Structure 1
Amino acid sequence: MRPEPFHLQMSDVSRADLRDRLARTRWPDEPAGEAWKSGTSLAYAKELVRYWESDFDWKAQEERINGFRQYRVEIDGIALHYIHEPGRCENPMPLLLSHGWPGSIVEFLDVIPRLTEHFTVVVPSLPGYPLSFRPGQRRFGVAEIADTFAKLMTDVLGYTKFGAQGGDWGAFITSRLGAQRPELLTGIHLNYLAVLRNTSFASPTEEERQWLVQLEGWVKEGSAYATIQGTRPQTLAYGLTDSPAGLASWIVEKFHAWTDHKGVVESAVSRDDMLANISLYWFTGAIGSSFWPYYARSQGPWPIPSTVDVPTAYTAFPKEILRPPRSVAEKTYTNIQRWTDMDRGGHFAALEQPELLADDITAFFKGL
């Protein structure tokens, strides 16, 4: 397992093919009524695709990503991509950052420089996600990803103890590491809680009643994407792998629904950041493989098989898709040492509020 330096460069042919496909998009109509109510706004999608085709500077995004130390290593049958940025202080703590869906390493580009003041930062691309994908490779669920990341940190990079942080699937991966490999973890920091969605309370408190309302709303209005990705991922992959406009519309709806924006999604996450992320999915063809953690979860057991007893911190952003109360969280996370309620930010915390997130991560691990 010898890492090789990695340099991101998409071919002129790939970029020309993307522009051609975008120019030939066949658009659906849209029902009358409130924009975004039934899915991605047609007017917004058209403007986003026009910008992607004509004004978006992919080469600038490549240069931005290539400003970090990147590697690939053959591990568990795949070529795992990761960023490995050394800390700028004496004896920096190793810190593993795990992204989620529909994210990528792009989520952490503004966070990494803030964290390397105190940490040596390792940011893998999840197996099956952009830059850790090639056609025909084995699929990875949360359990397999956590095992691979443990090998990366210990067998490849030589760390015997490290901190870990994540949101979305990254929170599941981080929590799985905390439950299964506690001897490796200094602590874990989460901006999403991987708790069982239990609706059974003997005498629910007001916070627990609000949690039940959240869950009901999520099942009714928010979870359809997870159902299709968790039951028929292959069927969905055909359209999103063939149509960049379809791919962008599928992903940007989540940026609109899950961010703390002020009516326009770009008030929370820049258009260039969204398209850098979407472009990685497009160029690598990884969207179908990225669905697999949903399929693995729907077909198997809950990926956090026991309680998580390592020191834990949670940053609660107000527009997170689900925000369980502490009484619910403590059934899974038995050693919560820091709980921070933020006044702004949403599901894509590293993109929306990189400074707030980095400061909270730093404060927690410095306290340990």
Structure 2
Amino acid sequence: MKNVTEFKVSVPQPVLDDLKNRLQNTRWPGEAEGSGWHFGTSQAYLKDLVGYWLDQYDWQKQEAQLNKYPQYIADVNGVKVHFQYIKGKTEDAKPLILTHGWPDSYYRFHKIIALLTEGDQSFDLIIPSIPGFGFSEKIAMPSEAVADLWTVLMTENLGYEKFYAAGGDVGMSVVKALASKYPEVVAGVHFTDVGYPMGQEDPGTMTENETQFAQFVQQWWYSEGAYAMVHATKPQSIAYGLNDSPVGLAAWILSFGNAGAPYEIIEEAFGGKDELLTNIMIYWTTQTIATSARMYKADAMMQWSGAPPLQKTNVPAGVALFPREAQFPREWAERFVNVVSFKKMEAGGHFAALEVPHVFAEELQSFFYSIS
């Protein structure tokens, strides 16, 4: 490995003491009677979660779990990139980089590490934190620039001639850019979503299924898309409150972390209270909620700049559509990537690696080993 140093998560006790003090002194805003989750994050639910956070959640235990697998910091074109690196047990293990999204983190993939590194169809897993998220450098970059970094990380820092890539949410944009810009080194890509209609498509070129999908997405943006509009236009305005209040941070993440699922299964989507809070803690202890939100602005500014759109390439792409994800048709995916496998899954949602890890791991193995 080149320009790489070992890393362990170690949060100073004063940071944890300060967190406890802020949680204990929360000024609760109240909520409209009977509003539940319809106005945003339920105060009743959040109070219960904060009580658990204060009295039962064990950060030291979770920190030890975060340090279970080898982690590193790489200097990639002058940017500090945090990543987990776990070698597969077989000699022909395939190098696979997994890219998370928002409001999750590299922790999205912790349940599938053993599943993908210890079997007969194993991978060398590289699981980085996007710059501006978690333990990587606190700098916001557009998705295409992140793809540039990932290519250098894989080929120069780690020395792979070719590699595979998978991602969802923000990670989807990064992986699409990898396939488009670097087809000579990217051997295959996998997605759980492929982007959404934004009103720029020519209606005359859209199938009936695509039109129905576009109508659904338009309604979804009106009802659930506030976070993306705020991140893409005024990320600094919300950064002050979210970086100052752990309850405010938790409320913001919870409000949009359901990703279309019924609100009562938020914990299931993240894997339980401990895993939900560990994801929030990664943002809180690194103070990266501002830069993570700012990535949306970076992507929007690149789009508004008139930069040419990414071109579709021949890199083989697998797509797994989970039932609690927006139900896009195959032809929509084929607009952007070379779809050689399109599967509708029976369970899971936006955070499939957390919700149904065995199903997700088997899908990655099945696809990437089928195109070798």
TM bin (shorter chain): over 0.9
- Aligned equivalent of 1:308, options 313, 324, 342: 313
- Counterpart of 1:284 in structure 2 is 286
The alignment status of 1:355 with 2:355, answered yes or no, reads no
Contact 1:338 1:364 in 2 (8 A): yes
Code of the residue aligned with 2:220 in structure 1: it is W
Distance 1:77 1:236 in 2: 28
- Counterpart of 1:153 in structure 2 is 154
Report Cα offsets for 1:319-349 as digits up to 9, x if no partner.
11x332111221111x211111012211111
The alignment status of 1:13 with 2:14, answered yes or no, reads yes
Contact 2:194 2:336 in 1 (8 A): no
Q: How does 1:71-82 map to 2 (within 5 A)?
A: 71-82=72-83
Report Cα offsets for 1:8-36 as digits up to 9, x if no partner.
11111111111110000001111123411
Distance 1:303 1:146 in 2: 16
1:68: Cα distance to partner?
0.5
Contact 1:175 1:308 in 2 (8 A): no
1:366: Cα distance to partner?
0.8
1:206: Cα distance to partner?
4.2
Report Cα offsets for 1:65-107 as digits up to 9, x if no partner.
1110100122233321000000011211100000011111110
- Counterpart of 2:140 in structure 1 is 139
Distance change >3 Å, CA 115–CA 225, structure 1 → 2: same
- Counterpart of 2:268 in structure 1 is 267
**RMSD value over aligned CA atoms?**
1.7
Distance 1:308 1:353 in 2: 30
Q: Percent identity?
A: 36
Report Cα offsets for 1:256-296 as digits up to 9, x if no partner.
3444x583422333111110010010000000000122101
The alignment status of 1:125 with 2:94, answered yes or no, reads no
Distance 2:196 2:180 in 1: 13
Distance 2:195 2:292 in 1: 19
Distance 1:48 1:112 in 2: 27
1:243: Cα distance to partner?
0.2
Q: TM-score, normalised by structure 1?
A: 0.94
- Counterpart of 1:190 in structure 2 is 191
Distance 1:352 1:194 in 2: 21
Contact 1:179 1:304 in 2 (8 A): no
The alignment status of 1:173 with 2:174, answered yes or no, reads yes
Q: How does 1:1-368 map to 2 (within 5 A)?
A: 1-116=2-117, 117=119, 118-134=122-138, 138-194=139-195, 196-198=197-199, 200-202=202-204, 205-259=207-261, 263-269=264-270, 270-301=272-303, 305-320=310-325, 322-333=326-337, 335-368=338-371
DSSP-derived class of the 1:111 partner: helix
DSSP-derived class of the 1:28 partner: coil
Report Cα offsets for 1:38-75 as digits up to 9, x if no partner.
10001011111111112111111111111101001222
Report Cα offsets for 1:171-229 as digits up to 9, x if no partner.
11011000000111110011111355355433854422320221221221121111111
Code of the residue aligned with 1:127 in structure 2: it is P
Distance 1:323 1:76 in 2: 38
Structure 1 segments (4+ residues) deviating >4 Å:
203-206
Contact 1:105 1:123 in 2 (8 A): yes
DSSP-derived class of the 2:335 partner: helix
Distance change >3 Å, CA 303–CA 347, structure 1 → 2: farther
Distance 2:328 2:197 in 1: 10
DSSP-derived class of the 2:73 partner: strand
Contact 2:4 2:73 in 1 (8 A): yes
When structure 1 is superposed on structure 2, of 262-271 and 216-225 the one drifting more is 262-271
Contact 1:262 1:268 in 2 (8 A): no
Distance change >3 Å, CA 86–CA 303, structure 1 → 2: farther
1:309: Cα distance to partner?
2.3
Instruction: Flag structure 2 segments of 5+ consecutive residues without an equivalent.
Output: none
Distance change >3 Å, CA 279–CA 203, structure 1 → 2: closer
